[in-house]
Amino acid sequence: MSLLFLSHSSLNNAEALGLRDWLVSEGWSDLFLDLDPERGIVAGEKWEQALYLAAGRCDTVLFLISRHWLGSEWCRRELHLAHRLNKRIVSLLIEPIPVSELPLELTESWQVVSLTAVGEASLWATEVTLDGQNVPVAFAREGLTRLRVGLHKAGLDPQSFAWPPADDPERPPYRGLKPLEAEDAGNFFGREAPIIELMGQLRGLSEGAPPRFLAILGASGAGKSSFLRAGVLPRLARDDRHYLPLPVIRPERAVLSGANGLLASLRAAATRMGLAWPPSRLPQALAEGAEVLPSLLAELAAAAAVPDWDGGVGKP
């Protein structure tokens, strides 16, 4: 399982290796690049199958766009695969190509960043070894900065979740019969591939038409609660540009008014967002009927909205 997947034309191998080096220097070492002797396709491996498996098990695909890439049928197939799997897509221009010449699948993607620049002062330069020779590679510093900020704001921090939590340094790593919580995200492992698959399904749901529903099914004791609380919810919370996870609701004997019911969840979320709702607001709203709930959720989403990369407002 890799966090990032680098897609490139075979004629842009040097640029792909250069971007790999920059990503690793910034902390994003969990990536797949077919050319990489350690992170790529190994000897004896079926290359086409390996590429499809890597694309399916990553969270985000970085496309290095050149005119050779635009003319490559294989690169376009990788783009269609990424769309079909609901992956995050980042388009990186490594040649000065007008946006009007880019296909719609790229211009409507998560972000388009230009890594081209004029003038040595504005460049990040390095050398990569390709076919036994040192090849110079340079990218625009401004573009790399936008890429770094974009990856961070999308919740793709290169650092894993801290363990133990800073506010609970003595937290025990084993919870017995209790499920792991968000504080245990740094101690939750072995479910990376299902988490990435579920995150892709959620992205597909968010872009589709209602009704939107996703269920996590499994036998009692299989770890569903830990998977949700320590695996999925912390990642949704980290991607606050697109998601606003509410506190977990447990029906118990009072799904609406119980200690872990809907009212308590909405009240906790409103407090976290700084909304000064009067105590009677939620009970009255729910008493008026289910049609009022969307307006409450809309208020929460508006309060949680964060600026996008161009200074506008993005809503979870």
pLDDT band of 310, cuts 50, 70, 90: very low
Cβ contact 243:305 at 8 Å: no
Q: Which of 69-78, 139-148, 173-182, 192-201 has the lowest mean pLDDT?
A: 192-201
Share of the chain above pLDDT 90, in %: 30
69-86 CB burial, b ≥16 within 10 A, e <16: bbebeebeebbebbeebb
261-287 tens-digit pLDDT: 999 999 999 998 888 888 888 888 888
Compute the average pLDDT of residues 174-180: 87
**300/311 Cα distance (integer angstroms):** 20
| Higher per-residue pLDDT: 47 or 210 | 210
3-48 tens-digit pLDDT: 788 889 999 999 999 999 999 999 888 888 888 877 777 555 665 6
The residues near 136 (Cβ < 8 Å, ≥ 6 apart) are 125, 126, 127
The CA-atom distances, in angstroms, between 122 and each of 19, 22, 141 are: 16, 15, 6
Strand partners, 124: 139
**151/244 Cα distance (integer angstroms):** 18
Question: 186 φ, ψ to 5°?
Answer: -70, -10
- What per-residue confidence (pLDDT) applies to 171? 92
Q: Which of 105-109, 203-207, 209-213 has the lowest mean pLDDT?
A: 105-109
Compute the average pLDDT of residues 207-235: 88
Q: Which of 7-11, 90-94, 134-138, 150-154 has the lowest mean pLDDT?
A: 150-154
Compute the average pLDDT of residues 137-165: 83
Q: Is the pLDDT of residue 313 over 60?
A: no
68-94 tens-digit pLDDT: 999 999 888 888 888 888 888 899 999
Compute the average pLDDT of residues 50-60: 75
- What per-residue confidence (pLDDT) applies to 281? 87
Cβ contact 105:65 at 8 Å: no
